[in-house]
């Protein structure tokens, strides 16, 4: 087992929502209308990358932000089809598949618009990644093995 700290941008964003006494959806709406919230999160991720040599970071913009800030990293894109993503979220959060898929679609719409507006970044541009893995039909352990194989060569 690797002993590497893992930073999840969504957890930082969720904590920011809680700190403001808002639901994730309410905070997302707030962030959609005020770029300072996204910029605060993104700067935190960049600062953490600068402060730590051995770190796993997760976030929709992380690879783009590290690239733009000249920070060297092995960048991996994990993706799954929308139905599978909805299933995983529904299971994790105890909601219906339909509700999960609707939340995912709305979040992605909101984020895509913000990132273009705030940074000029198209999150569908996957050219910044060193490795892309579709996780729809594979388990987390297999994903980890693929990444470790690629990193350790």
Q: What would the pLDDT profile of 37-72 be if each residue is shown by its tens digit? A: 888 888 888 999 999 888 888 888 889 989 999 999
In tens, the pLDDT along 75-105 reads 999 999 999 999 999 999 999 999 999 988 9
For residue 67, what is the domain's CATH number?
3.40.50.300
Q: Which letter, b or e, does each residue of 122-135 get, where b requires 16 or more Cβ atoms within 10 Å of its Cβ?
A: ebeeeebbeeebeb
**Quick one: average pLDDT of 1-8?**
79
Confidence category of residue 2, pLDDT binned at 50, 70, 90? low
The answer to pTM > 0.75 is yes
Domain that holds residue 25: 5-152
Q: Given a cut of 60, is residue 1 above it in pLDDT? A: no
Distance in angstroms (rounded) separating the CA atoms of residues 12 and 34: 17
14: left (phi over 0), alpha (psi -120 to 50) or beta: alpha
H helical segments located in the chain: 9-19, 24-33, 35-51, 62-68, 82-93, 97-119, 140-152
Instruction: Give me the number of domains the chain comprises.
Output: 1
């Amino acid at each position: 087992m690797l002993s590497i700290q893992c930073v999840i941008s969504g957890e930082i964003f969720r904590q920011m929502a809680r700190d403001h006494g808002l639901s994730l959806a309410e905070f997302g709406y707030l962030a959609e209308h005020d770029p300072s919230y996204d910029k605060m999160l993104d700067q935190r991720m960049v600062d953490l990358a600068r402060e730590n040599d051995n770190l796993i970071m997760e976030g929709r913009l992380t690879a783009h932000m590290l690239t733009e800030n000249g920070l060297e990293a092995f960048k991996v894109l994990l993706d799954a089809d929308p139905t599978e993503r909805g299933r995983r979220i529904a299971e994790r959060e105890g909601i219906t598949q339909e509700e999960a898929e609707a939340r995912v679609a709305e979040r992605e719409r909101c984020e895509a618009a913000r990132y273009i507006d705030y940074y000029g970044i198209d999150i569908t541009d996957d050219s910044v990644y060193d490795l892309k893995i579709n996780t729809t039909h594979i388990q987390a352990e297999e994903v980890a093995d693929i990444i470790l194989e690629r990193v350790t060569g």
